[in-house]
Amino acid sequence: MSTIEQRVEEIKEDLDFFEDELQKYEYIIDLGKKLEEFDEKDKIPENIVHGCTSQVWLTHKQKDGKLYFYGTSDAIIVKGLVYMILKIFSDSTIQELKDIDMDIVHELKLSEVITPNRQSGVIGMMKKIKEYALNA
Amino acid sequence: MFRKDFPYFQNSKTVYLDNGATTQKPKSVIDSQVEYYEQYCSNTHRSNFGHANKATYEFEKTRKLLKEFINASKNEEIIFTKGVTESINFIASSFAIDFKTVIISSLEHHSNIVPWHMQNRTLGAGLEVVNCNENLDFDLEHFEELLNANPNAFVSITHISNAFGKIHDIKTITKLAHKYGAIVMIDGAQSLAHFKVDVQDLDVDFFAISGHKTFAPTGVGAIYVKEKYLKNIKPYQTGGATIHEVDYSGSILLDSPYKFEAGTQNIAGVIGFGKALEYINHVRYENIESLENKVFKYLNEELSKLTEIIFYNDLTNCVGSRSFNFKGIIHDDIGILLDKMNIAVRVGHHCAQPIMKKLGIRGTIRVSTAFYNDYVDVDKLIEALKKALSMLKD
């Protein structure tokens, strides 16, 4: 079972493979298409991620001391980012999630980590994940 | 033709189409900043040694230039601020606060909405909003109804919508407002980059001006105040350089404009603003309008060829900004991909959420041009939009 750090490293390696920025984003768009169907009834205000310029919903299930996350977005590229975040943080123990270092996503070197209105959708997702872990 | 005057375009490969947010600066403006800091950096209106006198002279030269530029009648009517936001907040809190009703348009950006909320005004309770039609045209009939129902109101209206480029007919609006005893402030944030403004011809009472959207440095702007209101306005802040005499029994303030410019000002910024105005005088508005109109029209034609594009207004009375979406595509996705292709536009609500809500959208893609943008910029934008759409629709 890999750690959160290892999963970040794996995704970073995948992204670093692309020298061309547009190819990288084509890959991210494709990742978004792999997202599990998100239940429409979960698109409720409680599951909205704050800090995203696009709309993002994130929900979770708890099983055997671990949290599993589900999410989606109305924006296509952001869907890809959601996929990456779920891949990194899903299937982690509650304690691991409580200890998340928010700076870890900067390793991915995606400009979307720092968004124009000084809010980060990715950081918003991580905060939501941490919130779910703290309340678990 | 004038693009070479802007160092940014020699140093950057970015296709810059975000002029509604801020414009690029000509070399003369940039040089003036270096010159002030390297050669005569001193405070203004205080010390009287050589460099301080030069700094004061250059600072006041901008006031005179701006007075002539917008055809104000006196230098005293020009008060420097850090920008349109401060200009509006200043007049809102120092003058308009005493008015029972404030009337704004449907196309205001947050800088001309939130200051009124801070005075506990909400729709129907001290704040009224003039409707616009489906082409975002100002509803003069509704305006007159509001003026009639709220005599002696304070009217605060944008000249050009930052989000949609829509130009309001300020002369007609002001004339009608005055007929009902209202006083008029115009948010001119987007105006001076595009065309000549004559405050006496428009007969406005206040006119808020942005420096950085007019080729000047950031952090500088001004408010024009018609002379007859100068005595009724309380200073927004007080402090150094506003004072005639102080003792512990009280303070006697200087006259306008100095009593409104407390503390050390953005000296370099104001000097740079003067250089920007000189630069516009050198280029001349007739050239600015001619160059910009051609490219803006071409932009609209080329955008219109893209399938499933959605505009919110036609080109009638529209300048500088073209706002749109594509059916089924979130504007954020387009913004991210255009950035990767070195195209700078703004996507989002453009600090104008109420009109976005009225239109039932969360935002738009806004392409905002200045006179230095050319057909090649438009072609590169269109090519990038086509690529982005093909990626997102795949």
Which CATH number characterizes residue B348's domain? 3.90.1150.10
Residue A118 has pLDDT above 50, yes or no: no
User: Exposure string (b/e) for B148-179, b if CB count within 10 Å is 16 or more?
Assistant: eebeebbbbbbbbbbbbbbbbebeebbebbbe
Q: Where are the domains of chain A?
A: 4-134
Give the pLDDT confidence of B237-248 residue by residue, as tens digits.
888 778 888 999
| Phi, psi values for residue A43, rounded to 5° | -80, 70
| Residue B248 and residue B153 share a domain | yes
B178 & B277 share domain: yes
Domain boundary among B282, B297, B315: B282
CB of B116 closer than 8 Å to CB of B168: no
Using CA atoms, how far residue B14 sits from B61, B339, B341, B346, B392, in Å, is 34, 9, 8, 13, 22
Question: Are residues B273 and B309 part of one domain?
Answer: no
- Asked if residue B12 belongs to a domain, the reply is no
Q: What does the block give as tokens for B360?
A: 């039932």
Helix (H, G, I), strand (E, B) or coil at A40: helix
Q: Which two tokens stand for residue B285?
A: 């508005």
Rounded CA-CA distance B257/B90 in Å is: 13
| Closest residue on chain A to B331 (Cα) | A75
Q: Which amino acid is at B185?
A: M
**What is the DSSP code (8-state) at residue B138?**
B
Indicate the residue of B336, B362, B387 with minimum beta-carbon distance to A77: B336
Smallest Cβ–Cβ distance between B330 and the set A26, A29, A75 belongs to A75
Q: B19 in a domain, yes or no?
A: no
Quick one: B258 and B313 in the same domain? no
Residue B79 is assigned to a structural domain of this protein:
yes
The verdict on a CB contact (< 8 Å) between A78 and B339 is: no
Give the H or E element holding residue B103.
strand B102-105
| A52 pLDDT above the threshold of 70 | no
Partners of B79 in beta bridges: B223
Cα separation, B91 vs B104, whole angstroms: 14
- Say whether pLDDT at A114 is over 80: no
Q: What is the pLDDT of residue B362?
A: 87
Dihedrals φ, ψ of B332, to 5°?
-60, -40
Cβ distance B150 to B141 under 8 Å? no
Same structural domain, B251 and B333: no
Residue numbers in B near A54 (CB within 8 A): 330, 332-333
Q: Torsions phi, psi of B57, nearest 5?
A: -60, -45
Tell if the pTM clears 0.80, that is, is over it.
yes
What's the total number of domains in chain B?
A: 2
Is position A57 annotated as part of the catalytic site?
Answer: no
Q: Are A29 and B392 an interchain contact pair (Cβ–Cβ within 8 Å)?
A: yes
Ranges in chain B, pLDDT < 50? none
Are residues B193 and B109 part of one domain? yes
B329 close to B390: Cβ distance less than 8 angstroms: no
Last residue of a domain, one of B258, B282, B306: B282
Are residues B267 and B295 both part of a single domain?
no
Q: Report the CATH number at residue B168.
A: 3.40.640.10
Report pLDDT for A115.
Answer: 52
What phi and psi values does residue B5 have, to the nearest 5 degrees? -75, -10
Q: Residue B210 carries which side chain, given as an amino acid letter?
A: S
Q: Is residue B14 part of a domain?
A: no
**Pair (B200, B328) in one structural domain:** no
Burial class of residue A82 (count of CB atoms within 10 Å of its CB; 0-12, 13-18, 19+): buried
Do B155 and B179 contact (CB within 8 A), yes or no? no
In a domain, B266, yes or no: yes
Q: Flag if A53 and B348 touch (Cβ within 8 Å).
A: yes
Residue B192 lies in a domain: yes
A103-112 pLDDT, tens per residue? 777 777 776 6
**Are B130 and B105 in contact, with CB atoms under 8 Å apart?**
yes
Are B214 and B324 within one domain? Answer: no
Q: Are residues B297 and B370 in the same domain?
A: yes
Q: Is the predicted pLDDT of residue A13 greater than 50, yes or no?
A: yes
Helices (H), A65-117: 76-89, 94-98
Residue numbers of the domain that contains B183: 28-282
3-state class (DSSP) for residue B217 = coil
Distance separating the N- and C-terminal Cα atoms of chain A: 21
Chain B positions touching A75 (Cβ under 8 A) are 330, 332-333
Please give the positions of B annotated as active site. Answer: 351
Chain B residue at shortest CA distance from A121:
B332
Contact between A51 and A121 (Cβ < 8 Å): yes
Task: Give pLDDT, residue B241.
Answer: 79
Interface with chain B: mutation pick from A19, A25, A31, highest number of B CBs within 10 Å: A25
Q: Which of B228, B187, B233, B194 is nearest to B209 (CA)?
A: B187
Q: Which two tokens stand for residue A70?
A: 């589900």
Which tens digit of pLDDT belongs to each residue from B316-329?
A: 999 999 999 999 99
Are residue B127 and residue B274 in the same domain, yes or no?
yes
Which residues of B are less than 8 Å from A22 in CB distance?
Answer: 337, 340-341, 387, 391
- My answer on whether B72 and B172 are in the same domain is yes
Q: Is B200 inside a domain boundary?
A: yes
User: What gap in Å lies between CA B110 and CA B351, rounded to an integer?
Assistant: 6
**CB under 8 Å to A68, separation ≥6 — which residues?**
A60, A61, A62, A90, A91
Q: Closest chain A residue to B390 measured between Cα atoms?
A: A26
Residue B203 tokens, joined:
């007969």
> What's the gap in Å between the CA of B322 and the closest CA on chain A?
20
Q: Tell me the C-alpha distance between A18 and A27, whole Å.
A: 9
**Does residue A84 carry a pLDDT above 80?**
yes
Assign domain A4-134 to its CATH architecture. Alpha-Beta Complex (3.90)
Omega before residue B354 within 30° of 0, cis: no
